[in-house]
Amino acid sequence: MIPLNPKKVKEIAIEYMKVGIVPMIYGSPGIGKSDIVKQIAEQFNLELIDVRLSMAEPTDLNGFPVIENGVASYKPFDTFPISGTKLPKGKRGWLLFLDEANSAPKAVQAASYKIMLDRMVGNSKLHDDVAVMAAGNLETDNAIVEPMSTALQSRLGHILLQVSKLDWLEWAQSNNIDYRITSYIDFDGEKLHVFDADHSDLTFACPRTWEFANRLIEDKVEINNDEITLLSGVITQGAALEFAGHVKCFLDLPTIAQVAANPNSAKLPSEPSTQYAICGMLAGNADATNIKSVVAYIDRLPTEFQIRAIRETVRRFPAAKKEKLFYKKLTDLAQYL
């Protein structure tokens, strides 16, 4: 399979579902497989149903055996919308997500065949407005994976997800991930996903754990020893120490107040690492009161960093486009953006 970035994976998954093929997304732990599924559910206004096949029993998928009027049949659990089920309020349908599909025992995998190919839960038909997706980890990542039978393989459209720094930054900057984290990853993209299947640490840095790190440093001006200890538990000690070193460089940058007061004379960093940092600081603190000064200061940066600062500011503060000076700068750099 060809490794694809999240945008392409999402695009292909949608194309598969349009023609009734169940997409199966593979990828290392923590790189955003579930996020892609959530994005598709939101895009098409579908109620997301998350079923972890690794924790399921065959009965969960086939239905519970019951006897009615002397006849045995299978009664599906209410997890699965079947024909006649009312649409969720305000939704167009459902997205049934069969996660950890290749971590499920053989018997559960076999029970899932009927859902994936025949759209049946036991003897009941899935509702016409149910879309189905699946996901799982890679055998090479030391994740819990059961070999998938050829019968199941041939029922799916297979897609391999790889980490993309640019895609992750676009998401992170649009979702208020701390600008100190995004500037660090922008400066050194290899730090976004530091994974070795044979690693000895209890965790590793990946898109999921960087989001954990974001929660831990929210409203923290400095990263002291206590924060480093907390971060070590989610992104490893090595990554925590390196990130703390990056955060220290912000102490040598002009503050947003200094930029707002004197955009044409405030200190201008010259080292690449601090230039990445200043782009993040400006975008992360831009608002209606200082946007003119922010644009004036950005004008003094090298073109490459003007592009980075403008792009990130648009993501973090979309209303900046209403300011004439910012809009002009955006237009001037349009060919690069």
pLDDT in tens, 31-78: 999 999 999 999 999 999 999 998 999 888 888 878 777 776 778 888
Q: Which residues contact 11 (CB under 8 A, 6 or more apart)?
A: none
pLDDT in tens, 241-267: 999 999 999 988 999 999 999 999 999
- Would you say domain 3-161 falls under CATH 3.40.50.300? yes
- pLDDT on residue 143: 61
The partner residues of 74 in beta bridges, in order of sequence, read 65
Mode of pairing for the β-strands spanning 120-121 and 64-68 = unpaired
Segment-wise mean pLDDT, segments of 10 residues, the chain, 337 residues: 94 96 93 95 97 90 80 81 94 96 87 89 92 90 72 89 95 95 96 80 92 94 92 96 94 94 95 94 96 97 96 96 93 84
Number of H helices, E strands in the chain: 15, 10
CA angle, 155 as apex, 153 and 156 as ends, to 5°? 75
If you search the block for the tokens 């030391």, which residue do you land on? 142
Give the residue range(s) of CATH 3.40.50.300 domains in the chain. Answer: 3-161
What span, in angstroms and rounded, lies between the C-alpha atoms of 188 and 298?
22
Reading the block at residue 292, the tokens are 């003119």
Report CA Rg, the chain: 24
Residue 271 and residue 228: Cα distance in Å, rounded? Answer: 25
DSSP lists the bridge partners of residue 161 as 4
pLDDT of residue 149: 77
pTM: 0.85
Give the E-state strand segments of the chain in sequence order.
3-4, 22-26, 46-52, 64-68, 71-75, 93-99, 120-121, 124-125, 130-136, 156-161
CB 56 within 8 A of CB 191: no
Residue 77 is predicted with a pLDDT of 86
Classify strands 93-99 and 130-136 as parallel, antiparallel or unpaired.
parallel
| pLDDT at position 139 | 77
pLDDT at residue 150, rounded to an integer? 82
* 123 three-state secondary structure: coil
> SS in 3 state form for 208-257?
HHHHHHHHHHCCCCCCCHHHHHHHHHHHCHHHHHHHHHHHHHHHHCCCHH
